[in-house]
Structure 1
Amino acid sequence: MGVRLDKVLADSGGVALRHDVLRTVPEYELAWAVRAGHVLRPLPRTFLLPGVVADPVAVIGAAMTYAGVPAAVSHLSALRLWGLPVPEASWVHLMTGETRHLRGAPGVRVHRREGFGLEPPEVVTRVGLPVTRIEDAIVDSWPLLDGEAKRAPAITAVAMRMTTPQRLSEALERAPRLAGRRHLVRLIGLLDVGCRSPLELWGHDHVFVGRPFAGLRRQVAVRLEDRTVYLDLLDEQTGLNIELDGAAYHSSRQDRERDLRRDAALTALGFTVVRYSAARLYREPQIVRAEVLRMLTRRR
């Protein structure tokens, strides 16, 4: 690749529009670089260095440059920039309040919302790009996902204390016609009562349900020396702490050692810690339910 072309792209962060490149580089040189694979053209009139394609931030930035309208990263693309779990997507999603038509391009989907503004609180800046609020990104992406991937962004965001069920409810109120809305309403309700993982959602619906478990509290904060831990389920009357061990945080040797240290510290404070694996909760819900009922009955 020519020195001039390399410098133009490098100076612009690896992404440049055609008219910017042609100010310095002859058209034949740009065309040769594209044919040779030294420069990529993922969007019309938009050129990237090959190494930049692996950087999702640069690709999203290129899409915004191509769009040419005041816009913010939204939907699944915003979830990615927020660091939430989201499947690999072939589209870059942008949100704008502009009414003028944007020519379609492979890989760029522009959503329009009347009255949408690019200023806080609707939009914040992450990694140098304008991005919709985390709550709006979760709600907007709900119809675009399936299965467990559908619930994962909301569960993760609340579990990591990036948002709250209340703020998610407020965002949902701004989308009264959202496809699948009632299912998201129910998920937010479960998050509001303290469920923080798919396993806890399952336990709430299939194991720890009914009057005998009405006294259990979820996500109870307990101070252990220099840190605060959150108990999955706690019966305050007896001090019985039920922990639900999902694969995400309880599968490695280091995870096991961490859990043992935590359990010892809680026992020293007077709690009784009982752990159930995901395998037992999914395969033996009624047996687990009966065991916990016996524990509660004897201690009460």
Structure 2
Amino acid sequence: MNAVLRELVERGGGLVTRTAVEQVVPEWILQGACGSGALVRVLPEVFVAAHMLNGGRPDTPALSRLDPAVGRRAACAWARGRGALSHLTALDVWGLRRQAAGDVLHLSAPVAGGLRSRPGVRVHRRRDFTLEPPQGLVRQGLAVTRLEQTLVDSWPVLPPAERRAPVIRAVNDRLTTPERLEVTLGSVPKLTDAAALRTLLTRLAEGCRSPLEIWGHEHVFAGPGMPVFQRQVPIRLGLRNVYLDLYAELERVNIELDGATTHGDTRQREVDLRRDAQLAAIGILVVRFAHRRLVHEVDQVRRETLAILASRRTTTTADHR
């Protein structure tokens, strides 16, 4: 490969556009590099060094044989400011779900932008979409759709079992709020399984912060006899705040829901025991239920919870006499 062209490709992290090449070398040098196999065209006007391509079947689009991070740069270089990474591709840029090598890249673009889907990249053309904030943002040097739009757009594209995790993580990490997501959802008509997303946002707004807490809310800790639990209640312990999963204020009972990964973690168990002892010292009883019991022993967990609450109410009444 021509030395000047090689330096240009290296400075571009293995990627170069025709426009950039033609500013430093004649067209025939680019054609020669492609003819020799040193460069490979992955999108119109966008080329990468051949060594950047992973293995794959001969019929696999060249773009799909790139590392996803390089593929995203190639898609943005091809779009030339006429589109923004969106859906599952933007979800990866936002750090909420990794795209695997070979997955189709997603771009959203205005209808009048002129972009069309190509092998390896799907273009979602939108009438009211603009690339300026707040709809379009720049993250890691790449144009992406804003987080709330990204999460809503990704909902129907993801397998049903994987839909909730990015939304829950985004809210837990305080990247967004259920209220902001609800507004965005309202602007997207006919979204597949919108009712399930709306229910999830309601649970998150109520304070649920994990799939297990949502399960407990819907199947265990609601119904006749159950108090209206407060969720994620901050309690000061020494120099720090701790957050109670489900707190019955009258009975001063905190129910903690231990996830499937908690069992067998000795260090986490020691942390939990110290925390429980500190809460007990200020009169809060901590009751823990394991993931297995919450899912497979629903009726028994409900009975135990109701009995504990009744006992605490009796004790509280007796203390006040």
Partner of 1:56: 68
For 2:274 and 2:174, the matched residues in 1 are separated by 24
Partner of 1:163: 176
For 1:62 and 1:224, the matched residues in 2 are separated by 51
Q: 1:190 aligns with which of 189, 203, 209?
A: 203
1:161–1:264 Cα change, 3 Å: farther
1:291–1:19 Cα change, 3 Å: same
Structure 1 segment 276-291 matched on structure 2, within 5 A: 276-291=289-304
1:208–1:276 Cα change, 3 Å: same
1:252–1:219 Cα change, 3 Å: same
| Contact 2:258/2:289, CA 8 A, preserved across alignment | yes
Partner of 1:84: 96
Partner of 1:292: 305
For 2:182 and 2:30, the matched residues in 1 are separated by 54
For 2:52 and 2:236, the matched residues in 1 are separated by 46
For 2:225 and 2:42, the matched residues in 1 are separated by 59
| Contact 2:76/2:143, CA 8 A, preserved across alignment | no
3-state secondary structure, aligned to 1:238: coil
For 2:99 and 2:31, the matched residues in 1 are separated by 38
Partner of 1:20: 20
Give the TM-score normalised by structure 2: 0.83
For 2:189 and 2:257, the matched residues in 1 are separated by 34
RMSD after superposition: 2.5
For 1:231 and 1:87, the matched residues in 2 are separated by 34
- Runs of at least 5 residues in structure 2 that lack an aligned partner in the other structure: 54-64, 314-321
3-state secondary structure, aligned to 2:115: coil
Q: Does 1:72 align with 2:76?
A: no
1:275–1:183 Cα change, 3 Å: same
1:33–1:76 Cα change, 3 Å: same
Partner of 1:252: 265
3-state secondary structure, aligned to 2:133: coil
Q: What is the CA distance between 1:223 and its match in structure 2?
A: 2.7
| Contact 2:87/2:150, CA 8 A, preserved across alignment | yes
For 1:156 and 1:175, the matched residues in 2 are separated by 22
Structure 1 segment 149-228 matched on structure 2, within 5 A: 149-228=162-241
For 1:120 and 1:11, the matched residues in 2 are separated by 29
Q: Deviations over 1:213-244 (max 9, x none)?
A: 23211111223334332211001112211111
Partner of 1:32: 36
Q: What is the CA distance between 1:297 and its match in structure 2?
A: 0.7
For 1:58 and 1:260, the matched residues in 2 are separated by 47
Q: Does 1:9 align with 2:16?
A: no
Q: Percent identity?
A: 44
Partner of 1:106: 119
For 1:26 and 1:122, the matched residues in 2 are separated by 36
Q: Which range moves more in the overlay, 19-28 or 7-16?
A: 19-28
Q: What is the CA distance between 1:248 and its match in structure 2?
A: 5.3
For 2:90 and 2:195, the matched residues in 1 are separated by 23
3-state secondary structure, aligned to 1:121: coil
| Contact 1:86/1:153, CA 8 A, preserved across alignment | no
1:118–1:102 Cα change, 3 Å: closer
Q: 1:116 aligns with which of 119, 129, 134?
A: 129
1:4–1:263 Cα change, 3 Å: farther
| Contact 2:83/2:108, CA 8 A, preserved across alignment | yes
- Runs of at least 5 residues in structure 1 that lack an aligned partner in the other structure: none
